[in-house]
Amino acid sequence: MKQMIKPLLTTASLLALGACANTSTSWHKEAGVFLDSGSFGNATMNNVQIHNGERSYVVDLNNRFSQEVLSTVNFEFNSAKLDPDAQSVLRVQAHWIRQFPEVRFKVYGHTDAVGSNYYNKRLGQRRANAVVNYLVNQGVSRSRLEAVVSFGENQPLIATQKRERLNRRTVTEVSGFVDDERLMDGKYAAIVYREYVESATEKPPTTEGGLSRIQSAGG
């Protein structure tokens, strides 16, 4: 009889633990998530993320930047020189950046895996510096740009130890706002309003084609 009771107790204990585990997960859900299959809870979660900074307007603006402009330029092997394709991409980047004087940007430099990590970090930094200098020459204030310590060969797009052009790149990203101001104070609304007014303003016809997204050369 005792031998039969022990398995029963063990099973009951496992069921109880499983019930506790399921209950504990609900403590981390948003209020109301079980009331309407998640839509109310998702809205609550979105509000929480905005207030605690997880979902910031910086992320939203960076997503927009990467959708409307190529954020990456590529380099020849062991070079920080900007070729014509890279310069074309950066001219479009500069045009976009000039439209948002409230926003700051960082440029990250990368390399492929050929060579030492120490050398590649310095090479990646030179590439980031070259991009920043070019954007400055295109009329972007240097105070809004930062060439950060590069990732060197540590974040490849293509996992290979060989030469790979796609890994030899810089990436431009939105990093924040001038004077470290968050857009929670209405500045984001001001940006949107400014664009709304400009979009409704009639402009004289021009013979030049509009700026479009330019594809960089492949490796």
Residue, of 108 and 160, whose pLDDT is higher:
108
How is domain 57-199 classified at the CATH fold level? 60s Ribosomal Protein L30; Chain: A; (3.30.1330)
12 pLDDT above the threshold of 80: no
DSSP one-letter code for 108: E
Q: Give the rounded percent of residues in the chain with a pLDDT score beyond 90.
A: 42
Report how far residue 102's alpha carbon sits from residue 175's, in angstroms, rounded to the nearest whole number.
Answer: 11
Mean pLDDT, to the nearest integer, of 135-150? 92
Residue, of 178 and 173, whose pLDDT is higher:
173
What tokens appear for 213 in the block?
A: 């997204």
Q: For residue 175, what pLDDT is reported? A: 86
Q: 117 Cβ partners below 8 Å, 6+ apart?
A: 152, 153, 154
Task: Tell me the pLDDT tens digit for each residue of 69-100.
Answer: 999 999 999 999 999 999 999 999 999 999 99
| CA distance to 44, 95, 136, per residue, from 181 (Å) | 25, 22, 22
Task: Tell me the pLDDT tens digit for each residue of 187-208.
Answer: 555 665 566 566 666 665 544 4
What tokens appear for 122 in the block?
A: 């310095």
Task: Tell me the pLDDT tens digit for each residue of 146-170.
Answer: 998 778 788 888 888 889 999 999 9
Question: 60 falls in which pLDDT band (50, 70, 90)?
Answer: confident
Question: 30 falls in which pLDDT band (50, 70, 90)?
Answer: very low
The closest alpha carbon to 89, from 211, 186, 205, belongs to 211
**What pTM did the predictor assign?**
0.61
Mean pLDDT, to the nearest integer, of 31-36? 38
